[in-house]
Amino acid sequence: MVKNSNQNKKRVEKAEEDEDLMAIPEYMEKSSAIIADALQKGFDVLHLENGDIVTTGTKTIVTTYRWNGKNGKMVKFSVQESPGSQAISPIMNISAALKKTKKPVGKKG
């Protein structure tokens, strides 16, 4: 087992020296997981030649305002970030969207 471990370590070191990350099973496994997770969340993914992975996405923020008759103005009632940075469909009922969020009003996460 030690011999196998040493051979694997040498192979990884050589691949890193040659910058052939695709020859490193651990790199492939971990980078694939990152890419798959980002794609599931709807992010754009760039896998650069040097092995870096860049993900970009947007967050949907739902802000609810209520009328305050005593003050005669609109008051910010809640600000919620959609779970998993996934967009909320404009057709979705706003109360259903707010029920799905778990962050308390006014807390930053």
* Total domains, the chain: 2
Same domain, 41 and 67: no
Q: Which domain holds residue 28?
A: 2-47
Q: Give how far the C-alpha of residue 24 lies from the chain's centroid of Cα atoms, to the nearest Å.
A: 25
Residue 84 counted as domain residue: yes
Does the pTM surpass 0.85? The reply is no
| pLDDT, position 90 | 37
Same domain, 40 and 71: no
Rounded Cα–Cα distance for residues 49 and 5 (Å): 28
Q: Answer whether 44's CB lies under 8 Å from 79's CB.
A: no
Span 88-108, pLDDT tens digits: 333 333 444 444 444 444 445
The residue that leads in pLDDT, 3 or 62, is 62
Q: Answer whether 80's CB lies under 8 Å from 61's CB.
A: yes
The residue that leads in pLDDT, 108 or 12, is 12
Rounded Cα–Cα distance for residues 97 and 93 (Å): 7
